[in-house]
Each structure stands twice: as C-alpha cells, then as structure tokens.
Structure 1
Amino acid sequence: MLDFFYGRIKVENATALIAFQKKGITQTILHNLKYKGQENISAFFGKWLGAELVEIPEYKDIDIVIPVPLHRKRKQKRGYNQVTGFGTEIASSLQIDYREDVLLKKTRTRSQVFKSRYKRSEQSTVFQLANISELENKHILVVDDILTTGATLENCALELLKVKGVKISFAVIAITLS
C-alpha cells in the first residue's frame, strides 16, 4: 500500500484489511456501511485490524488515530462517519486516543465515486486543522474506509504534515487493486 504514496508524500506505514472488488462482496459490505445505515460494520473491521496492528512493531509508536472527516452536512444526513467505529476500535486496541476534532472538512464536496484520478487530486484545500498544538511531534494514524487513488489520504496528510514533527501512517478497510 505504501506504493500508492511513493514520491508524493512521506508515509511511515500503510495497511489495508481487505481487497475491494467491484460487484463483489466487498463492494456490498462497504455500500451497506456507507449508505444503508449499517454502522456496526465499521467497528467489526476496526476490531479485526486493531488485533492485527498490536502485533506489528511498526505500529507501536502511533500516538493518535484520526479519521478522514466528513463535512458536517454529509455527517448530519448519513447520521455518522462511516470510519468512526473502525478508528475507535483501532485506537482502543492500541490503547491510544481517537480524535475527530483535529482534522476537519471545511469544504463540502460531491462523492468521489465517479471522479477521475485527476479530479480527486484537485481537492487539496478541502481539509483544515484544529487543536494543532495537540498534534506536534505525534505519529498519527489516519483511517478511512477505502483507498482508490490515494488522493483523499494524501490531502489529509499534506494538511497534517504542516504541524511540527508529525509522522503519518494510514489504515483503511479496503484497497482497490485495479
């Protein structure tokens, strides 16, 4: 998974739990998580990956878990951020903080499902930081549901890397392989 970011941003570690396939079970599961109100799926995957990460030495120095944020209007419409359960369970396994109040989505964007790689990468000014002093010199694990082009995670990381001494790692539920 680190290959997605090679030459773009410095990433310490990156992991995905499962491979995403269109018209497969993974697509159905993630669709149910995002659009059918099955929020419990997120926590299931978080417990699974959290149990794996505690055994991997490279993840022992993570200080904080931060989700890719949803714009407040999308979160209000959906009722939840689909990666909250994933992130909170990983943080619980690693015995570290989970924070939704440090990386915020300031611009409402349309779903990226039908956007090209180029269009996805144009969204670099979408995120903003809050409570910056709490991030200094921290190793941050940014979590999301699916990695397609890496643009969303890259844009989150670019914002977080503005803070002194920050290191970034990523964890996603699924990764597209094609």
Structure 2
Amino acid sequence: MQTPTFSLYWALIIYGALLGLIYVFPKTRQLYKKAFDFSVLKKFPTYLLILTAFLTIFFANLVIFKRHLSSTFNLLTSNYSQTLFLDTFELISLLVGKLIIAPVFEELMFRVPLSIWMNRRFYFILALLGSSIIFGMMHSEYPLFGVILGIVFGSVYGLTKSIVPGILVHFLWNLFSLYYFNYI
C-alpha cells in the first residue's frame, strides 16, 4: 500500500536532477561544498541552537494546529498507526525518504542558495522569507507551518553558516513527528 503523500521514486528523480545541476556548474559546486561545514558541530552553542530550533518548531506546531502536549497516542497499543498496512519495502522507503532524503535535499534546495545573500542582512531576510514561502507551498498539507519550518531552518543556516545543523534539526523534527503524529 503506497502512502499518498510520499513517493521515493519521484523524490529520487527530483533530487537527482538537483545533484546534476550542482555537478554541472562549478561555482554552484563550490557554494555547496562550503555549506557542508562540519566544524560547527565542535561548538557547544551549535547544540543550543539546534535545541532552540527544535523547541521553536514544536511550540509553533502546538499553536498552529491547536494541539496539547499530550496529544500523541500510545504507539504500542494504538490502531491509528499510518504504517500498519505497509509492507517492509514501503516502510523502509517512507523512513528513508522522511529521515534522510527529505532533510538533506530540502536543506540543499532551500537553504544553500540563501548563502548568496548571507553577507547582506536585508537581502538575506528577503531571500529567507521567499524560500520559506516556497518551502511552505511545497508542504501543501500544512503551508503556514511549512513557512515557519523554512524560517527556522533558514535561520539556523544563517547563524551557523553551515547546512549541517539545519539538516540535523530537520532530521530530528521528522523523526519526532513520525512518532508524535503516530505514523509509526
């Protein structure tokens, strides 16, 4: 049974095309290489920023969707799991797509181009808002929350000058939401 909101094949095609474009243009390739700065993970403030970003997303979710802190189900006894009828391949595809492919490639597509304007605060804010609105439209199930996600992920990227913390926040949020919203 295929989940209606996710297709691993289409994601691979879209993200493969992005990788192809990055490979073709040398200046773009340099931009993306520079964005993968793992040295920021050696600094304690980066982890505080990751935690702050995660909590900001969590509380924005509570407010936007009018949820309560106890709104999750007990996954061990719940019949509401959306993966209940998935076979092994579909479950693995869902997990790989939501936990690896989406965080990495969405951050690459939406955050790294912001670095062109990173040294000019006004242009960076405009670019951040523009990319966040597009990010929200790409998440058509929850566009306003998608814009908030885009702003948080872009802010993490802007503050650290590295895509790695943004990918980690995105991964953590997707992992948490799979549990919290009872997908697994």
Q: Which structure has the highest helix share of the two?
A: 2
Task: Name the TM tier (shorter chain).
Answer: under 0.3
Return the TM-score normalized by structure 2: 0.27
Q: Which structure has the highest strand share of the two?
A: 1
Return the TM-score normalized by structure 1: 0.28
Structure whose CA Rg is larger? 2
